[in-house]
Amino acid sequence: MSRSEEVIPKLEKHKLSSLISKGERIDGRELNEYRPITIDVNCIEKAEGSAIVSLGNTVSIAGVKAEIGTPFADTPNEGVLIVNAEFLPLASPSFEPGPPDENAIEIARVVDRGIRSSRTLDLERLCIIPGKRVWVIYVDVYVLNHNGNMIDASGLAVLSALLTAKIPVVKVSEDERIGITDEWVPLPIRDRPVPVTMAKIGDKLVVDPNINEELSMDCRLTLTVNERGSICAVQKGGRGSLSMNDILYAVDLALKVSKEIRSALPPLPKIEDITYVVK
């Protein structure tokens, strides 16, 4: 999807920036306050897992589809996870149809990095026949309404969809034929990495920027924090720059905010006793 240039009136930009310099925001939030989050899971019955996440007026939908495929040559004993993001033209007057542009690709890759780095999905348990057949888990995330901070909305949608997804236990016969059983089990998920995006406006950092704040920002920083309180993905975006102090402040802020957000997410599935492949 390509994007035409979005604009914000100078008056509004000025108002917004001067408010933030006084520690206030145009929508009344605190600088470190997230918009209300709602998460609606399993909204698409035909998907293996799905979630609609809204952060205020920003809405993303993610769906999980699983199929049996071949592993990558360098990881013969691991399942495959593929995250894709697209901006739909119905989501914003500035989105146009077409293949994913650099912004959509960036979001998909940042979300993917957070999930991969914290080893959220135990890919080894998704191996069916080593070197030959594995589960391939596709997560596609679509922004439905863009009102700022699509990274976090998409990251939370992908995570929520994965947390609620179910795949069937597979049965492998002596001659390596694969059958699907009637028993459906949750994906082997062991972490919930939460992305926290902050925008730098003037000399302040604001959490979860809305669209007008994004249009006024110098740059943004996304820190993905996992259950252990470690940082498992970082992405700076936008034209401006950050100081060392900005970054250190952002780390403290992200650690704090990520805990609140995590409490809104579906719980981790109990997976210890699950056998994904039976003989």
Element (H, E) at 49: strand 49-55
Q: What is the DSSP letter of 259?
A: H
Kindly give the residue spans of alpha helices, DSSP state H, lying in 123-226.
Answer: 150-164, 211-216
Residue 8 lies near another protein (rule: CB under 8 A): no
- Cβ proximity to another protein: between 47 and 232 the closer is 232
Region near another protein per CB under 8 A, out of 59-67, 157-165, 176-184, 239-247: 239-247
Instruction: List the one residue from 248, 256, 259, 278 that touches another protein (CB under 8 A).
Output: 248
By the 10 Å C-beta count (0-12 exposed, 13-18 middle, 19+ buried), 74 is classed as exposed
- Dist. CA 109–CA 83, nearest whole Å: 7
Q: If you ran DSSP here, which 8-state letter would residue 189 be given?
A: B
Among 244, 263, 272, 273, binds another protein (CB under 8 A): 244
3-state secondary structure of 35: coil
164 vs 235, which CB is nearer to another protein?
Answer: 235
How far, in Å, are 44, 193, 213 from residue 48 at the CA level?
A: 8, 20, 35
What is the nearest approach in angstroms of another protein to the Cβ of residue 161?
A: 20
The stretch among 58-66, 116-124, 136-144, 264-272 that binds another protein (CB under 8 A) is 116-124
Region near another protein per CB under 8 A, out of 23-31, 207-215, 234-242, 256-264: 234-242
| Number of shown-chain residues binding another protein (CB under 8 A) | 36
Select the residue interacting with another protein from 25, 113, 146, 192 (CB under 8 A): 113
Nearer CB in complex with another protein: 26/105 = 105
Using an 8 Å Cβ cutoff, are 206 and 31 in contact? yes
Task: Specify whether the CB–CB gap between 65 and 48 falls below 8 A.
Answer: yes
Quick note: the x/- pattern for another protein over 93-112, rule CB under 8 A, is ---------xx-xx-xx---
Bridge partners of residue 219, in order along the sequence: 200
**Residues numbered 250-269 forming contacts with another protein, rule: CB under 8 A:** 251-252, 255
Q: Could you say whether residue 9 binds another protein (CB under 8 A)?
A: no
- Check binding of 156 to another protein (CB under 8 A): no
**Residue 204 CB neighbour total at 10 angstroms:** 17
Interface pick for another protein out of 2, 117, 178, 262 (rule CB under 8 A): 117
User: Do 99 and 167 form a contact (C-beta atoms < 8 A)?
Assistant: no
- The answer to whether residue 238 forms part of the interface with another protein (CB under 8 A) is yes
- Residue 58 and residue 145 in contact, taking contact as beta carbons nearer than 8 Å: yes
Binding site for another protein (CB under 8 A): 102-103, 105-106, 108-109, 113, 116-118, 219, 221, 226, 228-244, 246-248, 251-252, 255
